Amino acid sequence: MLNFLIFGPPGSGKGTQSVRLAEKFNLTHLSTGDMLRAEIAAGTELGKKMSAIMAKGELVPDEVVIEMIAARIDGARDTAGFLFDGFPRTVAQTEALEKMLNERGMKIDSMLVLDVDHDELVKRLILRAELSGRADDRDPAVIENRIDVYRAKTEPIIDFCRQRGIYQPVNGVGSIEDIFERLSRLVSGHIG
């Protein structure tokens, strides 16, 4: 099994590209953002607690997402590997993921990093707010906070992955199809 992280700031196209990559390469797509939004939509106790944190653009506690991911890894069958989308978001989550995979005879094989400039991120998220009405896209101050949180808490993961030789940057600006081609070439380099 091969395991990929798709990585980048909010609005960089992680979710958009993950769905396509998972389908093309028979990867199991695990998005912690989607899992958390499903908890909120189902009105669970966990969802109620997490929704206030997400609406402010802050990260939910590490242990919450680590537990969600562990359950999904053990439940997956008939897959070429995992595509982790929006997880990990802190160095502690990265270390937990590495440990989880190592214990199951796997590793993180590649970190695909979408590079998108600040103004383009804001433009995309404001547009998404109009189309999907996501609570955390509606307020420009929350968008800026999410980008700040990414720079402070999530971006340091890049150094961790560089040290392991798995860092693969991708230009995340252009058409969705062109970016998909760029990512597909990198994934093909691992899967063949």
Q: Is residue 13 involved in binding ligand B4P (CB under 6 A)?
A: yes
| Position with the least CB separation from ligand B4P | 33
Q: What are phi and psi of 31, to 5 degrees?
A: -110, 115
**What residues between 130 and 149 interact with ligand B4P by CB under 6 A?**
136, 146
Q: How far is the CB of 123 from ligand B4P (least distance, A)?
A: 8
167-171 and 110-115 beta bridge pairing: parallel
Is 170:182 a contact under the CB 8 Å cutoff?
A: yes
Q: How far is the CB of 32 from ligand B4P (least distance, A)?
A: 3
**What residues between 147 and 186 interact with ligand B4P by CB under 6 A?**
176, 179
CA–CA separation, 153 and 92 (whole Å): 10
- Comparing CB distances to ligand B4P, the nearer of 2 and 64 is 64
Is 11:125 a contact under the CB 8 Å cutoff?
A: yes
CA–CA separation, 118 and 142 (whole Å): 14
Kind and range of the H or E element at 32?
Answer: helix 32-42
- Comparing CB distances to ligand B4P, the nearer of 52 and 192 is 52
Q: Is residue 86 involved in binding ligand B4P (CB under 6 A)?
A: yes
Cis ω for the linkage preceding 156 (within 30 of 0): no
Number of residues in the chain: 192
SS3 190: helix
Choose the catalytic residue: 20, 56, 107, 134.
134
Q: How far is the CB of 134 from ligand B4P (least distance, A)?
A: 8
Q: Is residue 12 involved in binding ligand B4P (CB under 6 A)?
A: yes
Catalytic positions: 14, 89, 128, 134, 146
Interface residues toward ligand B4P, by CB under 6 A:
10-16, 32-33, 36, 54, 57, 59-60, 65, 86-87, 89, 93, 124, 128, 136, 146, 176, 179
